[in-house]
Each structure stands twice: as structure tokens, then as C-alpha cells.
Amino acid sequence: MTLELEKKLTDRWPTWFHTAGDLRHTLMPLGFQCGDGWFGILWSLCARLDHLMETEGGVGSEQFEVLEVKEKFGGLRFYVNHLSEAIDAAIEAAKLESLGTCELCGRRGQLRTTPQYRTLCDEHVAEECGQERE
């Protein structure tokens, strides 16, 4: 993800993303390890989690923190230091949404099995993987 988009997320939720943190505690210093096309999914997920923090009364004595954001097997992975049923459900819904959204541009996409698993639209699968458009 571009630094500009990462900054929008980290500026909005500064206590969640420790991008200058210790790699032994959080992998966020590696950045958001996914494409720009999933920015909208991430923003919506964070807004949903923010709402859950308010309605559930936070996460107890521990500060809520995002530990890693990445693509894995063509889907969004979003790891946090605290889970509840509602938080887990919100993260799972974002993962499922990512499997139908091009990671590069945000248009409708599908999981592709090219040299690696990626969720891409027809245009980007042709560009990225050298395949003919379907």
C-alpha cells in the first residue's frame, strides 16, 4: 500500500498502528503489506472496529492494537492483540470482501491461481501475470 494511504489510516487511528514499534511486538513497522485496492475495505473495517470499541467498552485494560495487515493466499489478513466474537466477525467479513475485490485497484475481482494466489480484476490479472483477459 502506498505511504499516502497508510498515513490516512495511521493518522485516523494513531494508537492502533505502531508503525515505528518493535518488530518483536508488532509487524506494523513493515507497513500495510497489501495493495491499494483494499484501502476501502481496511477503512470500513477500522470504522467498524472503532464502533465496537465504543459499544463494547474497549478491550479492558489492554490498549487495542493492530499487529499486522497483509495479503495471504489472496485474501486480507488483519491481526490484532485482542479478539472478541464481534471483532473476529468484523475481521472475517473484511477478509471475505477482499476475496471479491481486486487488491490493486479495488474493482470487482476474483481469487486467481497464478504463480501465487492473488485477488485481481481481469485487467490486472492480464497485466500482473501475463495472462489473456478472460
Q: Is residue 114 part of a domain?
A: no
* Rounded Cα–Cα distance for residues 78 and 75 (Å): 10
* Percentage of the chain modeled with pLDDT above 70: 92
Environment class of 87 (CB within 10 Å of its CB; exposed 0-12, middle 13-18, buried 19+): buried
Domain that holds residue 21: 3-100
Domain membership of residue 119 (yes or no) is: no
Q: How many domains does the chain have?
A: 1
Taking the model in full, what pTM does it have?
0.90
Query: What's the pLDDT tens digit per position in 66-124?
Result: 999 999 999 999 999 988 899 999 999 999 999 999 999 999 999 998 778 999 999 99
